[in-house]
Amino acid sequence: MQSPKPPYHIYGTKVRRTSIEATDFLRRNDRLAALLPAATRMAKLQKDVRLILPPMYANCEALAVQDGVLTLAVPSSAVAAKLKQQAPKLQGALQKKGWQVDSVRIKIQVGRALPAEESSSTKPSSLELPPTAVQAFEELGDTLPASPQNAPLIAAIKRLAEKRKSK
């Protein structure tokens, strides 16, 4: 009887333990075990992409390589525009490493730009101002010249100070 293979981490996953649990799960199921080589291959591709691209593209992820087309996910159109300039360099470097990449396709996925949500108990519900700041806003509202142009500003400053004072 063979001894079980040691668990290993797939590069590109954020949590090592989760990656190990996932690979162990894939190994235990005969049908899903066929996915393990593909997952490992994509992890190696992601690692190579991260090594080739400058650090500013750390949020970019390799989604697929199909028919010689590498699909990369980026968090914004600004990153996509800059990455288009790096595409020939990336393509050439990946080819040198043995990847069959004839072109690079960039896919914008805005959700990737969002930071991980913090728990609501640690996040303040609104901005807390120290008492000296609230007092300064009150004084500002009282000292601004009363004119038709300043009326909305004065009203907003006084509402802000009143709202913050009551907290």
pLDDT the model gives residue 19:
65
Q: How far apart are CA 84 and CA 104, in angstroms?
A: 8
Q: How far apart are CA 60 and CA 103, in angstroms?
A: 16
Q: List Cα–Cα distances, 37 to 49, 68, 97, in angstroms.
A: 18, 18, 18
pLDDT the model gives residue 25:
76
For residue 50, what is the DSSP state?
H
Q: What is the pLDDT along the chain (167 residues), one digit of tens a residue?
A: 444 454 444 555 555 566 677 777 777 777 777 777 888 888 899 999 999 999 888 888 998 899 999 999 999 999 999 999 999 999 999 999 999 999 999 999 877 655 555 444 555 556 677 888 888 888 888 888 888 898 888 898 888 888 887 66
| H-assigned helices in the chain | 16-28, 35-52, 77-96, 131-143, 151-165
CATH 3.30.300.180 in the chain, residues?
16-113
Q: What is the CATH number of domain 16-113?
A: 3.30.300.180
